[in-house]
Amino acid sequence: MQVIQSLREIVGPRYVLTDEDCARWASDWTGGYQGQPMAVLRPGDRDEVSAILRLASQHRLPVVPVSGNTGLVGGALAAESLVLSLDRMNRIRSISPDARVAIVEAGVVVAALDDAAGAHGLTFPLAFGAAGSAMIGGVLSTNAGGANVLHYGNTRDLCLGLEVVLADGRVLDLMSALHKNNSGFDLRNLMIGAEGQLGIITAAVLKLHPRPTQHATAMVAMPALDDAPDLLNALQDASGGAVVAYEFMPRSFVEGHLALIPNAREPFEAAHPVNLLVELAATRTGPLTEVLEQVLAAWLEAGKIVDAVLAQNETQRREMWARREAAAEIAFHRKPFIDTDIAVPLNRVADYLREIEPRLRDLDPDCAMLSVAHLGDGNIHYTCFPSRDDAGLKSAMRDQIDRLAIEMGGTFSAEHGVGRSKLAPMARFKDPVALDVMRSLKSTLDPLGILNPGKTLPAPD
């Protein structure tokens, strides 16, 4: 094929993969999205990315940017498309300890950046299960979240500057390291979270934060979830905003963990309906553990929490986190399943969990459910296991889960992105004017529709 030959000239023959060499990119890690790419291209620099896009525009070939391929929504599905893999563009160009800034290419692994920052007493604080394989281009394109968004914000909040190659191959240079820069429209945030629809992110200027030198971590049991937002506010006030994670696991999650993970242990002597993982962090010596103990002691005395266990050492802290981080394994172990990524205002999480269960049981009295939540963000990963593998039933259940979130002022898509898996709720629940505006921005910046087609934006009615 003439095009493949031209692509070989751009990136070098060994970096154009076809047929069975594409296997690694023919499926996502859940196996839920599968499709054979036309070819996988592994450019070595921005200019090669630009040349690929010029050629793809000329031939109107679909291009799917992929970095770590750890997404959960089918955003990197590349059937009959060119995969543009950023994995070779994996240089950390610089780390400036004074300015607390890193300049990186899109293929840098999230955990590798955090390690490199660690050598300077700094951290890149994006924390989620796949951080050991997810790459910067992907976390920027999906505006990835995770357990520490509460304190550090999501990926958007960690980015100062971007380099983006547009659909026609032009390079958009937004590589600023400034904290204030009001010079025209905010194109950086338009590109972040755009799931590769408007351009391909090739490099970024990222913020680093002082690396915490102490943590205070606890499991807390509550009789009900309703007081949990108040406890978070009390901990924030007492610690001066040092809470970095505030995670909720219901009893069903703990039971899933005990059943599935070897050597898993109960978090408390008794079983409790509400189990919170709370972590405070600080960059200085000071009474962090004492603050946590004092607040929890007062809440125990008031009867608003029923038990609390503080991690006494790093091993105990790791054990608490290991339970939380097993979420994907626990949620995906049983089939069929419906996994979701909703958010509601954080004072509505308890209401949400109370109200969704009967709605789902109305549809399927024998279904089971399990959830885990970044409670500090109101973000619930709600999983439902229907009693039979029926497409209509699954779709109706998913619709209920999304619909109740919307009714409570929430979203059907909190942190994983839209990709393929949330096209239906985008069409159903997103403000129609917002959808129209998105479609017109897409047509303006990618008039041929070659960038990651069939994702993010549902087709008009």
Residue numbers 76-115 binding its own copies by CB under 8 A: 96, 98-99, 101
Q: Check residue 125 for interaction with its own copies (CB under 8 A).
A: no
Find the shortest distance in angstroms from Cβ 145 to its own copies: 5
**From 149-157, 268-276, 307-315, 332-340, span contacting its own copies (CB under 8 A):** 149-157
Per-residue binding string, its own copies, 335-354, x by CB under 8 A, is --------xxxxx-------
- Binder among 63, 172, 254, 360 for its own copies (CB under 8 A): 172
Q: Quick check: 418 and 134 in contact, CB under 8 A?
A: no
Find the shortest distance in angstroms from Cβ 261 to its own copies: 27
- Binder among 80, 115, 173, 390 for its own copies (CB under 8 A): 173
Closest CA to 430 of 410, 400, 416: 410
Q: Check residue 414 for interaction with its own copies (CB under 8 A).
A: yes
- Binder among 7, 82, 167, 174 for its own copies (CB under 8 A): 174
**From 1-9, 80-88, 154-162, 329-337, span contacting its own copies (CB under 8 A):** 154-162
Could you tell me the CA-to-CA distances from 76 to 135, 180, 197 in Å, in that order? 13, 33, 11
Q: Check residue 328 for interaction with its own copies (CB under 8 A).
A: no
**Total residues contacting its own copies (rule CB under 8 A)?**
88
Find the shortest distance in angstroms from Cβ 150 to its own copies: 8
Q: Point out which residues pair with 411 in neighbouring strands.
A: 343
Q: Quick check: 133 and 153 in contact, CB under 8 A?
A: no
* CB closer to its own copies, 62 vs 145: 145
Q: Check residue 118 for interaction with its own copies (CB under 8 A).
A: no
CA atoms within 13 A on the CB side of 294: 11
Binders of its own copies in range 267-306 (CB under 8 A): 282-284, 286
The token duo for 371 is 């959830």
Binders of its own copies in range 14-73 (CB under 8 A): none
- Binder among 23, 119, 178, 224 for its own copies (CB under 8 A): 178
Could you tell me the CA-to-CA distances from 224 to 273, 323, 347, 369 in Å, in that order? 7, 20, 13, 18
Q: Check residue 13 for interaction with its own copies (CB under 8 A).
A: no
Binders of its own copies in range 355-384 (CB under 8 A): 374, 377-379
Find the shortest distance in angstroms from Cβ 47 to its own copies: 14
Find the shortest distance in angstroms from Cβ 424 to its own copies: 12
Find the shortest distance in angstroms from Cβ 147 to its own copies: 12
Find the shortest distance in angstroms from Cβ 440 to its own copies: 5
Q: Check residue 435 for interaction with its own copies (CB under 8 A).
A: yes
Q: Check residue 422 for interaction with its own copies (CB under 8 A).
A: yes
Amino acid at 273: P
Q: Check residue 460 for interaction with its own copies (CB under 8 A).
A: no
Per-residue binding string, its own copies, 222-251, x by CB under 8 A, is -------xx--x--xxxxxxx---------
Find the shortest distance in angstroms from Cβ 348 to its own copies: 9
Q: Check residue 181 for interaction with its own copies (CB under 8 A).
A: yes
* CB closer to its own copies, 16 vs 408: 408
Find the shortest distance in angstroms from Cβ 206 to its own copies: 14
Instruction: Report the b/e string of 133-145 with b at 16+ CB within 10 A.
Output: ebbbbbbbbbbbb
* Spatial separation of the C-alpha atoms in residues 163 and 180, rounded to whole Å: 18
Closest CA to 161 of 136, 133, 134: 136
* CB closer to its own copies, 9 vs 173: 173
Question: Where does residue 392 rank: exposed (0-12), middle (13-18), buried (19+ CB within 10 A)?
Answer: exposed
Find the shortest distance in angstroms from Cβ 417 to its own copies: 5
Find the shortest distance in angstroms from Cβ 126 to its own copies: 13
Q: Check residue 437 for interaction with its own copies (CB under 8 A).
A: yes
